[in-house]
Structure 1
Amino acid sequence: MLTNKQKRFLRKEAHRLKPVVQVGKSGVNENVIQTTKEAIEARELIKVNVLQNCLERKEDVAHTLAENIKAEIVQVIGNIIILYKESKENKQIELPQ
């Protein structure tokens, strides 16, 4: 569980990032989950773009993705979801205590 201080730090770090995963009309499926797993293992902090034609609510997409890849939701703002998961092999981000 991330503290508020850690979430603030991660939001600041994510500000410069571009979305690497897009969730479209078909919603969260196995392909989206697998792509998200690979991206978050490589980068630790990612943005997910929920397209306007997605039939699911953004909050539901965020919770489904976070649950399936065992990541933390940093923020859901507009159509963007920010997810964080500490990488096992490729640790890049040092969280404040």
Structure 2
Amino acid sequence: MPDTTDNSSNEPARLTSKQRAHLRSLAHGNKPVVHVGKDGLSDAVMTSIEEAFNTRELLKIRILDNANEQPRDMAHAIADRMEGVQVVHTMGWTVTFYRPDPDEPQIELP
């Protein structure tokens, strides 16, 4: 697997369009695991997202209509608050995230 870390920081390198397409295809049949509502990115929601990443590398989150922010803005806020998380895709009110397992990554990026 190619090195996905940027040598200048601890942040992962940006996903290429080919890698994003691969991850989108893997996540296609997945259903959203976490739902974000009017309370936005509360501590409880962030804990739920963190726990969801403990068992998977790809994660779909559904932003409900009554959320105070737009899905794209909320997706980037989540990625900024969580180490190693990258936004793969935003479609409508559903966002797909990727974070490789630090010990045993299951998904091999092209």
| TM-score > 0.5, shorter chain as reference | yes
Alignment pair present for 1:29 and 2:42 = yes
Q: Secondary structure at the match of 1:86?
A: coil
Greater helix percent: which structure?
A: 1
User: Residue type matched to 2:78 in 1?
Assistant: L
- Mark the structure with the bigger radius of gyration: 2
| Cα distance between partner residues in 1 of 2:47 and 2:31 | 19
- Given that residues 41 and 85 in structure 1 are in contact (C-alpha distance below 8 angstroms), is that contact kept between their aligned partners in structure 2? no
How many equivalent pairs are there? Answer: 96
TM-score by length of 1: 0.93
Answer yes or no: is the 8 Å Cα contact 1:46–1:82 preserved in 2.
Answer: yes
Partner of 1:81: 95
SS at match of 1:25: coil
1:19 and 1:48 in contact (8 A); partners too: yes
Deviation of 1:90 after TM superposition, in Å, equals: 4.5
Q: Which residue of 2 aligns with 1:14?
A: 27
Q: Which residue of 2 aligns with 1:44?
A: 57
The residue that corresponds to 1:72 in the other structure is 86
Question: SS of the residue aligned with 2:106?
Answer: coil
Deviation at residue 67 of structure 1 after TM alignment: 0.9
| Cα distance in 1, alignment partners of residues 95 and 30 from structure 2 | 12
List gaps (5 residues or longer) in structure 1. Answer: none
